[in-house]
Amino acid sequence: MTTPRPVVLVTGGASGIGRAVAAALEPDWRVVVLDRAEVRPDGVCADVTDPGVGAAVGAALAALGVSRLDALVHCAGVAAFGGLAEMTPTEWQRVVRVNLEGTINLVQALSPTLADHGRVVLFSSGTAFKGPGGAAAYAASKAGVIGFARSICEELGERGITVNVVAPGLVVTPMSEIIASTEAANIASRAIKRAATTADLVEPVRFFLSPGASFVTGQTLVVDGGSIKH
């Protein structure tokens, strides 16, 4: 008898890092993609800030004949950069709303659907540690994701669910194209002096999803070629 593949929801799975992660997990997982953009028929077209996102995911799972999620990989996010004096409240509120409030909303909505001993992998950013000028709202929102993960790992740990964070350095994707001009400086700051790719994030995510990471929770793994050392 064939063992059913575990089910993982990958947000932001229509492009960039999310797309790479979703594609890489396909052989071993039953992948459900959530994105605001158009997604495949078995995916979920939804906004992570929407109060109804949990119901939308539940409907998609029911259509697949399953009722539980074994894992959540939350890659969806937005970026906006600019000096503190120039950034409008509308711009920074959007960044904080999607990246931080959206993460809280999504995990709160889906936590009842997560199977015991499941996995949650969230995405932060190396900017939360570097704190570069012109990135205050983005860095704050991504630092908030780390704090959120550290707290909820205590609560979800009661059910054996792990919560960990991946913090990439600059990876040029459609979301980060607006700061692609900084890539050379980022490469120069790294111990491994090459451009980052979306594929560099796949195995760190796979580790956090693996049985070998069942005793690893509340941790943040920086994946940036050694630009940040801690």
Amino acid at 89: P
Number of domains in the chain: 1
**Structural domain contains residue 176:** yes
Of the residues 81, 92, 138, 148, which is catalytic? Answer: 138
Q: Are 98 and 49 in contact (CB under 8 A)?
A: yes
**Structural domain contains residue 181:** yes
Per-residue model confidence as pLDDT tens digits over 3-37 = 789 999 999 998 899 999 999 999 999 999 999 98
Supply the CATH number for residue 72's domain: 3.40.50.720
Query: Which burial class, exposed, middle or buried, applies to 166 when counting CB atoms under 10 A from its CB (0-12, 13-18, 19+)?
Result: buried
Q: Give me the mean pLDDT over the 161-170 stretch.
A: 95
Give 32's strand partners. 9
Helix (H, G, I), strand (E, B) or coil at 147: helix
Q: Are 54 and 34 in contact (CB under 8 A)?
A: no
**Structural domain contains residue 129:** yes
Q: Give me the mean pLDDT over the 184-210 stretch.
A: 92
Based on the residue annotation, tell me whether 153 is a catalytic residue of this protein.
Answer: no
Domain residue limits at 153: 7-223
φ, ψ (nearest 5 deg) of residue 24: -70, -30
**Structural domain contains residue 18:** yes
**Structural domain contains residue 1:** no
Structure tokens at 27: 């052989």
Q: Which pLDDT value is given to residue 3?
A: 73
Per-residue model confidence as pLDDT tens digits over 24-71 = 999 999 999 999 986 677 799 999 999 999 999 999 999 999 999 999
- Between CA 19 and CA 154 the distance in angstroms is 29
75 or 15, higher pLDDT = 75
